[in-house]
C-alpha cells in the first residue's frame, strides 16, 4: 500500500496505479492539487510504486475575497 498525505490527513491506495487514478480512488479532485512523490513535483500520469512518499499540495487561492 501507498500512503498519501493531504492537509494532515492520510489515505492509503494500492501501488502500481497512476497518481490521477489514486486521487480519484480517494475522492480528491485532481485539478485542485499538485502531486509530489518523494519530494519532487510530478505529473499526474506517474505510476505510484511501493515505498513512494506521496504528498498533495492544495492549490486553492488564499485570498479572502475575489476582487472583481
Partner 1 sequence: MRHHKLALCAPHYGEWFVVSTQRAIEKYKMFTRAERVLVAVSGGKDSLALWDVLTRLGYATDGLYVGLGIQGELAYSDQSLARIREFQAQHVPDATLHIVDVQETYGKTIPEIARASSRGHGKPCSACGLTKRYVMNRLAAERGYAALATGHNLDDEAAVLMQNTLHWQTGYLARQAPVLEAGEGLARKVKPFCRFYERETAAYAMVRDINYVYDECPHAVGNLTNFYKTLLNQLEAQSPGAKLQFYTQFLKARRAGFFDAPSSDQIALRVCDVCGQPTTAPGRCAFCRMWDVAAPPNDALELGNALSAQDAWTAASARVAENMDLSDL
Separation CA 51–CA 32 (nearest Å): 24
- The residue (of 38 and 43) whose beta carbon lies closer to partner 1 is 43
Using CB under 8 A as the binding rule, whether residue 68 contacts partner 1 is answered as yes
State which of residues 32, 38, 49, 53 lies at the interface with partner 1 (CB under 8 A): 32
Using CB under 8 A as the binding rule, whether residue 67 contacts partner 1 is answered as yes
Separation CA 20–CA 43 (nearest Å): 9
Total of chain residues touching partner 1, rule CB under 8 A: 20
Q: Which residues pair with 40 in a beta bridge?
A: 37
CA atoms within 13 A on the CB side of 23: 23
Using CB under 8 A as the binding rule, whether residue 65 contacts partner 1 is answered as yes
Using CB under 8 A as the binding rule, whether residue 31 contacts partner 1 is answered as yes
Amino acid at each position: 500500500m501507498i500512503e498519501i498525505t493531504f492537509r494532515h490527513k492520510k489515505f492509503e491506495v494500492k501501488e502500481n496505479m497512476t497518481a490521477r487514478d489514486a486521487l480519484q480512488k480517494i475522492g480528491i479532485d485532481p485539478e485542485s492539487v499538485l502531486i509530489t512523490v518523494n519530494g519532487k513535483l510530478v505529473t499526474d500520469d506517474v505510476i505510484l510504486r511501493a515505498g513512494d512518499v506521496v504528498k498533495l499540495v492544495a492549490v486553492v487561492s488564499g485570498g479572502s475575497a475575489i476582487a472583481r
